[in-house]
Amino acid sequence: MHFESGVGHIGGNLSCLDALLILHHEYIGASERFILSKGHSAGALYVALWSRGLVSDAQLAQFHRDDTLLAGHPPAAGLPGIRFATGSLGHGLSLAAGTALALKLKRETGMVYCLTSDGEWQEGATWEALIFAAHHRLHNLTILVDHNNLQGFGRTADVASMSPLGVKLGGFDVALQTVDGHDPEAIRAALEVPGNTCRVIVLETRKGHGVSFMQDRMEWHYLPLNEQDYRRALLEIEAQ
């Protein structure tokens, strides 16, 4: 999909794809809501929706094209399972916290899941949303952090370090866990932990996971795939 459309952001898609697939196949039903705060990983979200039959092959073929619903960031309307246009980093968690509080006030069931990047935890709005979620004890909100240690201009530790991020997050009244973001059983176990306050799951991931020449490389935040790289990546994935 990324190769045929000639667009980048594939590194961050591959770092969160495992978690998105588990969420959408095993935890998100009619009563649950999902908000992709790291909107530049829309490709991974579209694939997760496609794998559940909510997006068609024909729609995937229009990814990032003119007049498509499958833009480089999630659209405001038109696709099932996408409630907000996101991608201006730092806004998604506020939307998720507000949604969770609304459900709580209306006494409606269902969990709200929000996937953030680690880079957006350098933004004040994200911390304000966490303060809000912890204060209101939003037990129906689960925050996942795609902690791949890279962002658009380098390593998160070099751009504006929040390291160790888990320690900072653990200073709030939240149920915090840190797990391998590419281990399905570890992700499931974290999602199953009950609690009476907001849950935060830090997913230790690798940008470009599964493709050796992309893995943990900042440039794959942006680079599109040429045909040589595309064929090489397919061979590696098929060999696994």
Q: Give the pLDDT mean for 224-237.
A: 96
Structure confidence by residue, pLDDT tens digits, 94-126: 999 999 999 999 999 999 999 999 999 999 999
Question: Is pLDDT of 190 > 80?
Answer: yes
Check residue 48 and give its pLDDT. Answer: 98
Question: Is pLDDT of 195 > 90?
Answer: no
Cβ atoms of 19 and 204 closer than 8 Å: no
Q: How many domains does the chain have?
A: 1
Helix (H) or strand (E) holding 199: strand 199-204
CATH of the domain at 189: 3.40.50.970
In terms of residue numbers, what domain contains 39? Answer: 2-239
Structure confidence by residue, pLDDT tens digits, 41-88: 999 999 999 999 999 999 999 999 999 999 999 999 999 999 999 987
The DSSP string of 131-157 is HHHHHTT-TTEEEEEEE-SEETTEEHH
Start-end of H helices in 165-217: 165-169, 184-192
The separation between the first and the last C-alpha atoms of the chain, rounded to the nearest angstrom, is 20
Dihedral-angle region of residue 10 (phi above 0 means left; psi in -120 to 50 means alpha; beta otherwise): alpha
Check residue 194 and give its pLDDT. Answer: 86
Q: Give the 3-state secondary structure of residue 213.
A: coil
Structure confidence by residue, pLDDT tens digits, 11-39: 999 999 999 999 999 999 999 999 999 99
When pLDDT is cut at 50, 70 and 90, the band that residue 89 belongs to is confident
Q: Is the peptide bond before 194 cis (omega within 30 degrees of 0)?
A: no
The DSSP string of 105-139 is HTT----EEEEEESGGGGSHHHHHHHHHHHHTT-T
Check residue 90 and give its pLDDT. Answer: 84
Check residue 50 and give its pLDDT. Answer: 97
Q: Give the pLDDT mean for 210-221.
A: 95
Minimum mean pLDDT among 51-55, 84-88, 130-134, 162-166: which range? 84-88
Check residue 233 and give its pLDDT. Answer: 96
